[in-house]
Amino acid sequence: MTIALEVGVRREHSAWETLSSPEWLSAVQTRVEQVAAADSSTRRNAPVALLAIKCALLLLQDTMSDDTLPPNIVPTADGGLQLEWHHNGVDLEVYVEAVGTVSAWCREGSREWEDDYYSTARIAKELSRLTSSPAR
Amino acid sequence: MIDVASSADSVVPYARPSDLPDFDAPPVTEVAIALHFLAPNFRAVHLGLLWERLRDRYPVVEERSPMMSQVEQFGATHPPTVQFQFLDTPPVPLTVFADPTRESLVQVQQDRFQCSWRQGSPGHPYPRYSSLREEFVKNVAILDQFAAQQDIGELLVKQAEITFINAITDVDTVADVLRLTPAPVRDTTTELPEPDLTRVAQRRTFRTDDDVPYARLHMAAEPGLSPSGEVVQLVFTYRGEPFAGRRVVHPLASIMGFLDEGHDRIVRAFADTTTDAMHLIWRRTQ
């Protein structure tokens, strides 16, 4: 079964900027279309839940800057999605379950944290270091 | 899920801190307590069904265009600029459920739930935080049970907020209300008139023990109009992520702990930023 979901993207630009989209947006779009369209009969996973896709996109909307690196997006066995970033020695994984619940785990060397609740501040802080721009 | 089906009172008791500043006649005219959440499965049809559970207390209902929820942006070096809109269902309106006096409202839209009190007449004093808090807990319990029974999914609470609006009468400018440091007098070659309107805005950011920003306290003061005439309006909003930096045993307890913390910080900021002369008028007792 293919998930039918039409998603509009609104983009705020100041008049000083040329019209463009962040690089991560097209990468996320491509990957979400792939995981949503994958035929679940050919793999062991349950089909990805529409709610998980919506919640994952809203999470990215809340936490990504224009220069943030795109996540690797992996369907989970229970119909959820896992968003992963592995860069600069930082491992950040965000789990969106089929029912929309969000949890996250991060490790950088000996520093490690885990959240069972939706916490955009903590995720956004980690993502601010996972950018395509030179280290700040 | 907030899960307040079991006794909400036992989960979220409130005790006013003994050292919290207090006033017999505070100028509070409006209070709003709100949750901002992710619930993409919440549809327009749910609003009517939810009203069935609220209409005894809030028999008046009105529909409005959804409002853009203000959300604190933390952490990102540049604010997010992409917004996704799901076009598989039409936009869910903002629905207002009001009590017959219109002093108490519940406002619901797809991503926001807000309980508000507004002073209807000068003879109706501010009912105090503990009373508004109790009403909020009851209404959140109704929403939470409703969401679970309607397969809306879990309400993923992103942020919580509490706002106090004060309308201060019989003053001319914000300088009569706030402790402000006057600008130094200096010689000038221009003949500019005195400013006829002055606004003051402040923002404070709070961080967890491991330095993650999670809440902000906003203060804004400016002249305004109220039913009683010209006033200085003094608005405090505390908004942020209720689970950040807390050990979450019961989600509603964390949310109410965050809101209690916000009330506490607002009251202390109110007392710290307003003048002693105003405290006499508002009959400060502590």
Judge whether A40 is closer than 8 Å to chain B, CB to CB: no
The whole-angstrom separation of Cα B160 and Cα A4 is 32
Nearest chain A residue (CA) to B82:
A11
Which residues of B have a CB under 8 Å from any CB of A? 38, 40-41, 71, 73-88, 153-154, 156-158, 210, 212-214, 240-241, 243-244, 248, 251
Min distance B2 CA to chain A CA atoms (Å): 11
The highest-level CATH class for domain A23-127 is alpha beta
The answer to whether the Cβ–Cβ distance between A121 and B80 falls below 8 Å is: no
In chain A, pLDDT over 90 holds for what percent of residues?
Answer: 49
Q: How many residues does chain B have?
A: 286
Q: Which residue has the higher pLDDT, B81 or A64?
A: A64
The token pair at B96 is 């207002």
DSSP code, position B21: -
Judge whether A37 is closer than 8 Å to chain B, CB to CB: no
The whole-angstrom separation of Cα B252 and Cα A72 is 33
The answer to whether the Cβ–Cβ distance between A6 and B156 falls below 8 Å is: no
The answer to whether the Cβ–Cβ distance between A61 and B83 falls below 8 Å is: yes
> What is residue B7's predicted lDDT score, i.e. its pLDDT?
47
What is the residue extent of each domain of chain A?
23-127
First vs last C-alpha separation in chain A: 44
Nearest chain A residue (CA) to B244:
A119
Q: Which residues of A touch B87 (CB under 8 A)?
A: 6-8
Question: What is the value of pTM for the model shown?
Answer: 0.89
ipTM of the complex: 0.80
- At residue A42 the predicted structure's pLDDT band, cuts being 50, 70 and 90, is low
Is residue B216 within 8 A of residue B241, CB to CB? The reply is no
- The pLDDT averaged over each successive group of 10 residues in chain B (286 residues) is 52 89 95 93 93 96 90 70 82 94 95 95 88 95 92 86 95 88 70 84 93 95 86 96 81 93 98 96 94
Across B47-56, b (16+ Cβ under 10 Å) vs e yields: beebbebbee
Strand bridging mode A102-108 / A111-115: antiparallel
> What is residue A134's predicted lDDT score, i.e. its pLDDT?
60
3 state DSSP class of B124: coil
The answer to whether the Cβ–Cβ distance between A64 and B82 falls below 8 Å is: yes
- B220-266 confidence digits (pLDDT tens): 999 988 877 889 999 999 999 999 877 777 889 999 999 999 999 99
Of A5, A55, A121, the CB nearest to B214: A121
Is residue A127 within 8 A of residue A136, CB to CB? The reply is no
> What is residue B251's predicted lDDT score, i.e. its pLDDT?
86
- A86-108 confidence digits (pLDDT tens): 998 999 999 999 988 899 999 99
> What is residue A22's predicted lDDT score, i.e. its pLDDT?
87
The answer to whether the Cβ–Cβ distance between A5 and B86 falls below 8 Å is: yes
Q: How far is CA B191 from CA B184, B194, B251, in A?
A: 17, 9, 59
- Average of pLDDT values for A31-50? 79
The token pair at A5 is 């979901």
Neighbours of A107 (CB within 10 A): 14
